[in-house]
Each structure stands twice: as structure tokens, then as C-alpha cells.
Amino acid sequence: MESNATYHGELFADCPSLERVLIGPNVEIIPDSIFRYCKPLLKVDMGANVKEIGEDAFYQCSSLTSIELPDGLTTIGGRALSGCTGITEIQLPKSIKSIGPSAFDAVPITEIVLPAGLENFADIDVVSAFKNCTKLTKVVSYIKQPYEISLYAFEDETFRNGWLYVPVGTLSLYKSMQYWSKFKNIVEMDDNTGISGIHIDGNTNVSIYNLS
């Protein structure tokens, strides 16, 4: 893909033979639905200057096993990677601002890091970006001023069995939020990712080690 061409939504949708996509350095927007249902797609070389991934852009690309999101990416549209069940790891760049509903629906990631500048991923009135991410057990949030999220921001398994890591000094803020506080296990970390405090609900067994 190059910026001197015009690409329309669904241009490569349901392509039966597309296995690799190279996105040029001048492309800033990946259009809605452009690679939707490209089930044979194995690899995407993401351009360094992509700022936005459109809705349904890689919807149900089930053979895709990894995708590197570039620094400078600010927006991931709804269902952009929904159904990409071959992907087990997502690294969000620090530049990300907004992630749309069901963006990672059913993607079997086990952990996710939420950058400090993330402004939206689970609004009260919309479906969460992490719908059906039932394997997600570790959420690291660098958001220092937590905002209210949806009851469905994470699956029940994540709230119940997962661990939420939050910046030092914010434990009480997260615990005061209606749905962030659904996490049974909340860990406060310092700027060097060391642990300074733990909040645990329920009957979780925890071993505490003094690292010095």
C-alpha cells in the first residue's frame, strides 16, 4: 500500500490468496474493512507512519499470528482485529489515544499494557475493546487519572482472576471507581515497575517477597 493510490473499504476483503501485506511508509490511514475476512493473511508489515487503523480493517484475519503497531498510532477502530485468533500478544504504542468497541474481540492475549495517554477503550455506553478476551489475566495501566469504564470493560474471568497493576499513588483512585474496583487483585507499582502496595479481595493466596 502506498499513499499515492486511493484505497476503498473492502478492496481486499475476503481475498482467498492474500498472505502478506506491506504497508508503505507514507500511508497514514488503513481504511475500514480493507482486509476483512482475509483468512489466509499471515503477515502484515505495518508502515512506520500509520496513525489510524480503520474499523474492521483486519476483521476475522484468523491466520494472522502477530502485528506490530507503530509508534505514532493514535486510533484503532472498532473490530479492527476482532476474530484474529492467531494473535497472542498486542503491544500498544505510547501514542495510542482511542481503541474502538470490540477492537480485539476474541483475541487470545494474556496481558495488555494501557499507556498513560489512552483516553478511551471501554466507554460506559459501548462494548469494550477487550470483549471475549477470556485469557487476559494481567492488565498494566499507566493511566494516572483513571476514568470510569464500562461494566463490560473486561470479561468476568479477568476481573475475578486477573491482576491489575496501577501507578504508584493511584491505588485508592482505582479502588474508588465503580468498575475498575471489580478487579479482585490490584497491585500498585512504582515508576521502575516495582511493587509498593497490594489490594486483594477474596481468598487469593499470595506470597510476598522482599527484594533488596
Query: By percentage, how much of the chain surpasses pLDDT 70?
Result: 84
List, for residues 86-128, the tens digit of each pLDDT value.
999 999 999 999 999 999 999 999 999 999 999 999 777 778 8
Mean pLDDT of the chain: 88
pLDDT value of position 199: 55
Contact residues for 196 (Cβ-Cβ < 8 A; gap 6+): 168, 188, 189, 190
* Cβ-based burial of 100 (10 A; exposed 0-12, middle 13-18, buried ≥19): buried
- pLDDT interval class at 154 (50, 70, 90): very high
Element (H, E) at 174: helix 171-176
pLDDT at 6 over 90: no
pLDDT at 195 over 90: no
Q: Which amino acid is at 131?
A: K
List, for residues 20-43, the tens digit of each pLDDT value.
999 999 999 999 999 999 999 999
Measure the CA angle with vertex 59, ends 58 and 63; round to 5°.
75
Q: Could you tell me where the beta strands, DSSP code E, fall in the chain?
A: 20-22, 29-30, 43-45, 52-53, 75-76, 98-99, 111-114, 138-141, 163-167, 185-189, 195-200
pLDDT value of position 11: 78
Which of these, 101, 115, 122, lies nearest to 56 by C-alpha position? 101
Spatial contact of 203 and 211, defined as CB atoms under 8 Å apart: no
List, for residues 44-67, the tens digit of each pLDDT value.
999 999 999 999 999 999 999 999
pLDDT value of position 126: 74
pLDDT at 208 over 80: no
- pLDDT interval class at 192 (50, 70, 90): low
